[in-house]
Amino acid sequence: PPLGKKKHIAQAIVKCFEIMNANNSSPYYSRIDYVQGSMLEEFLQNSDKAESMFEMLESYVIEKKLVDYIYEVNALIELRGNSYHTKRTEINKFIKSYPDYVIERLDSVRHKEEIVNLFNKWVSDRIKYMPKEEAEVFLEGIHQERHAIKHMLKYYDLLSLIGLVIYINGELKGFTVGERINKNTATVIIEKTDFEILGCAQFIFREFSKMLKEHYGVAYVNVGDDMGFENLRKVKMSYRPFKLVPKYTIYQK
């Protein structure tokens, strides 16, 4: 959530823990995820002056998490140079194979059922190619992701989200949703495509990058982390990130 001006970050975080601890069954469940390094610095430097840095660290556990992948939006749109040769080839094959594709602005009511159906198919297809150990970890997060998608669609307009869907032969084969997170950066919250439609993922990612730039005027796109999956890490690295940004989680002891 927005935490206000820098000088108020420490106070806001302390207040957040007070609220969480009052509502959770145990303080064990209270935490703040996706904390940026700059926010963490403000939290530690602007904590109560009566507390020393040592005392502050005694009260909280700060855990480093996976990095976010940040890209220059123009690079994702133009795909210039040898580094993106494979991406251009995949997109061109997609356009040649499916010339009658249709892209639409995502409508959370009209597209809801088809989005949920595609997500379920995506889960089934994904598991087929996963090692058993990785699949078990993957499935643990699926319930939460399915729940998040339903809430995302329910509060889509309230959250000022923006998205695209792609149809092939009248069937929804891909969807993606994002939002602006600051003046210069937008984020891709979710992207799912049918594995059987080769090049669809690369195509919708490029088209959505165009949409994010046109709608928000941003220079960068944050696509989140790789969830610790090697295949996802390789895919995100293949797009040549502009920078990798570490995230942290704050727990209260």
- Note the pLDDT tens digit of each residue in 31-57: 998 888 877 877 777 655 445 555 556
Question: Residue 170 — very low, low, confident or very high, per pLDDT cuts 50/70/90?
Answer: very high
Handedness of CA 223, 231, 156, 144 (dihedral sign): negative
- Mean pLDDT value across residues 194-201: 96
Q: What is the pLDDT of residues 229-244, one digit of tens each?
A: 888 899 999 999 999 9
Q: What is the pLDDT of residues 92-113, one digit of tens each?
A: 999 999 999 999 999 999 999 9
Predicted TM-score (pTM) of the model is 0.83
Q: In angstroms, rounded to a whole number, what is the distance separating the alpha carbons of residues 95 and 243?
A: 30
Taken in order of first residue, the domains within the chain and their CATH numbers are: 6-67 (no CATH), 68-243 (3.40.630.30)
- Mean pLDDT value across residues 130-158: 86
- Mean pLDDT value across residues 114-123: 96
Q: In angstroms, rounded to a whole number, what is the distance separating the alpha carbons of residues 114 and 118?
A: 6
What pLDDT sits at residue 230?
86
Q: In angstroms, rounded to a whole number, what is the distance separating the alpha carbons of residues 185 and 179?
A: 9
What pLDDT sits at residue 99?
97
CA 219 to chain centre: 17
142 or 68: whose pLDDT is higher? Answer: 68
How many helices and strands, by DSSP H and E, does the chain display?
9, 8
